[in-house]
């Protein structure tokens, strides 16, 4: 069932420079980022962005450095003002908010987790975790129980009285996540939140986020430049290049059906068995197969299913979601999905 739209972005443009409205006219007539900079000394940050963020899902916005992803997320709470376009949250036009409504949006409806942690060094872990409540006027005594609850939930029980410099990078980022959760905001904005972490800690943090999301169903907008991270986390994936959307949709569908050479280059070297999920290659059906070799989850990656089957392509599995069948996976279909799109097209052309 389709979820409600929590954030709607329509025809959004951002141009950096002294006369952005003049530059905008050139962009709308077809001028690109490089030409705009060369001829008019303006930087095209975002170009005609149209994205719907659905309630209770993780929307991942990814792209290389300079693609506009961090610029985009900062528009959602108006840390950056757009040159043109519309942004709605729960059907309200954020661009029309006065100072009081904007402050309320940032304090109560949106929380933010930063790449550089953004913890206050002179505050304890407990005080940092409760910072969103502190700025709303609550005392430490008022929010202590709530902050402790979320610190324990992210694995930091017993660290409440330490200071940020006493924690590792991964632990500091856990404090940042606890702070976002303690605010009880329905929307979480996460800007390269795990990019500064070591690979193993980063993977643990991704797992933690997915575990928490399975319980809490927040609306999360997550920024990353890492494709593996994007494919692991995203319910909806938006890929940016030079300030515009190249492709967006269900990440597994993008992986199976890239629509641009830029996307094909992105996915050419990834381990498809590790990142493709069962849901992307299964047959959607509630009818049990004639023969069944076991049950698997729709979220299992294909690598784990290959290991379970010991490479036997004659196996068939029931695909389950929360105890109910949602599909059937034939191992022969799984093997077909492991052939990269470009290679498959090349083999097809070679036949003729």
pLDDT at residue 198 in the model: 86
Asked if residue 282 and residue 229 are part of one domain, the reply reads: no
277 domain-assigned: yes
- Above 90 in pLDDT, residue 54? yes
- Split at pLDDT 50, 70, 90, the class of 112 is confident
102 domain-assigned: yes
User: Does one domain contain both 226 and 154?
Assistant: yes
What secondary structure does DSSP assign to 91-127, as a single string? TEEGGG--HHHHHHIIIIIEEEEETT----TTS-HHH
DSSP string, 202-219: HHHHHHHHHHHHHHH--E
Q: What is the pLDDT of residue 5?
A: 96
Query: What's the CA gap between 114 and 194, in Å, rounded?
Result: 9
Which strand ranges, in their side-by-side order, compose the sheet holding 244-249? Answer: 110-114, 187-191, 219-224, 58-62, 236-241, 244-249
What radius of gyration do the chain's Cα atoms show?
Answer: 23
Residue 345 predicted with pLDDT over 60: no
Q: Report the alpha-carbon angle 227-181-238, nearest 5.
A: 25
pLDDT attached to residue 137: 79
Residue at which a domain ends, from 267, 292, 322:
267
| pLDDT attached to residue 190 | 93
The per-residue pLDDT for 337 is 82
Asked whether residue 85 is assigned to any structural domain, the reply reads no
Residues 297-321 have pLDDT tens digits of 998 989 999 999 998 999 999 999 9
- CA pair distance 298, 317, nearest whole angstrom: 11
- How far is it, in rounded angstroms, from Cα 268 to Cα 344? 12
pLDDT value of residue 205:
86
CATH number of the domain within which 188 lies = 3.40.50.300
pLDDT digits (tens, 9 = 90+) for 198-237: 888 888 889 989 998 988 999 999 999 988 889 889 999 9
CATH number of the CATH domain containing 304: 3.90.1280.20
Residue 244, in any domain of the structure: yes
Q: Is the pLDDT of residue 347 over 50?
A: no
Query: Which of 267, 291, 310 marks a domain boundary?
Result: 267
Residues making up the chain, counted from first to last:
352
Q: What is the pLDDT of residue 341?
A: 54
Per-residue pLDDT, averaged over 136-152, amounts to 87
- The better pLDDT of the pair 318, 257 is held by 318
Query: How do residues 152-185 score in pLDDT, each as one tens digit?
Result: 988 899 999 999 999 988 899 889 899 988 888 9
Report the range of poorest mean pLDDT among 106-120, 172-186, 262-276, 332-346: 332-346
Considering the domain architecture, whether residues 142 and 251 belong to the same structural domain is answered as: yes
Residue 266 pLDDT > 90 = no
Tell whether 121 and 261 lie within a shared domain. Answer: yes
Domain span at residue 171 reads: 56-74+97-267
CA distance readout (Å), 338 to 35, 170, 271:
40, 34, 9
**Residue 288 carries which DSSP code?**
P
349 pLDDT tier (thresholds 50, 70, 90) = very low
In a domain, residue 112? The reply is yes
Q: Are 50 and 248 in contact (CB under 8 A)?
A: no
pLDDT of 30 over the 60 cut: yes
246 Cβ neighbours under 8 A, 6+ residues apart = 239, 240, 259, 260, 262, 263
Q: 104-113 burial by CB neighbour count: b if 16+ within 10 A, else e?
A: ebbeebbbbb
Of the residues 235, 250, 267, the one at which a domain ends: 267
Do residues 162 and 125 lie in contact, with contact meaning Cβ atoms separated by under 8 Å? yes
Q: Which two tokens stand for residue 74?
A: 């900062």
171 and 294: one domain? no
pLDDT (average), residues 243-251 = 94
* Domain count of the fold of the chain: 2
Instruction: Please check whether residue 61 is in contact with residue 72, taking contact to mean a CB–CB distance below 8 angstroms.
Output: yes
Structural domain contains residue 303: yes
- The reported pTM is 0.84
Mean pLDDT of the chain: 89
Task: Provide the pLDDT confidence category of residue 350 given band limits of 50, 70 and 90.
Answer: very low
Assess whether 248 and 332 both reside in one domain: no
């Amino acid at each position: 069932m389709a979820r409600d739209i929590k954030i709607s972005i329509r025809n959004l443009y951002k141009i950096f420079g002294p006369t952005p409205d003049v530059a905008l006219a050139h962009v709308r007539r077809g001028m690109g980022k490089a030409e705009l900079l060369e001829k008019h000394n303006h930087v095209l940050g975002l170009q005609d962005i149209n994205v719907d963020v659905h309630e209770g899902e993780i929307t991942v916005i990814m792209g290389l450095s300079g693609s506009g992803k961090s610029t985009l997320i900062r528009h959602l709470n108006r840390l950056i003002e757009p040159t043109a376009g519309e942004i709605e949250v729960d059907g309200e036009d954020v661009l029309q908010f006065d100072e009081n409504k904007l402050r309320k949006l940032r304090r109560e409806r949106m929380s933010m987790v930063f790449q550089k942690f953004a913890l206050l060094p002179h505050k304890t872990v407990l005080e940092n975790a409760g910072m969103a409540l502190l700025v709303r006027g609550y005392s430490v005594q008022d929010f202590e129980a709530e902050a402790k609850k979320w610190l324990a939930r992210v694995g930091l029980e017993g660290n409440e009285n330490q200071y940020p410099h006493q924690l590792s990078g991964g632990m500091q980022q856990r404090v940042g996540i606890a702070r976002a959760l303690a605010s009880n905001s329905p929307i979480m904005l996460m800007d390269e939140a795990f990019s500064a972490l070591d690979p193993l800690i980063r993977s643990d943090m991704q797992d933690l986020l997915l575990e928490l999301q399975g319980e809490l169903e927040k609306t999360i907008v997550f920024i990353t430049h890492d494709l593996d991270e994007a494919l692991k986390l995203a319910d909806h994936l938006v890929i940016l290049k030079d300030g515009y959307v190249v492709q967006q949709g269900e990440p597994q569908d993008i992986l199976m059906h890239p629509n641009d050479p830029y996307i094909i280059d992105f996915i050419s070297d990834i381990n498809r068995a590790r990142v493709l999920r069962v849901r992307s290659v299964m047959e959607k059906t509630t009818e049990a197969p004639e023969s069944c070799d076991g049950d698997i989850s729709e979220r299992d990656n294909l690598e784990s299913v290959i290991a379970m089957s010991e490479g036997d392509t004659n196996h068939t599995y029931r695909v389950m979601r929360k105890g109910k069948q949602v599909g059937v996976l034939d191992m022969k279909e799984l093997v077909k999905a492991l052939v990269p799109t470009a290679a498959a097209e090349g083999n097809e052309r070679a036949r003729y």
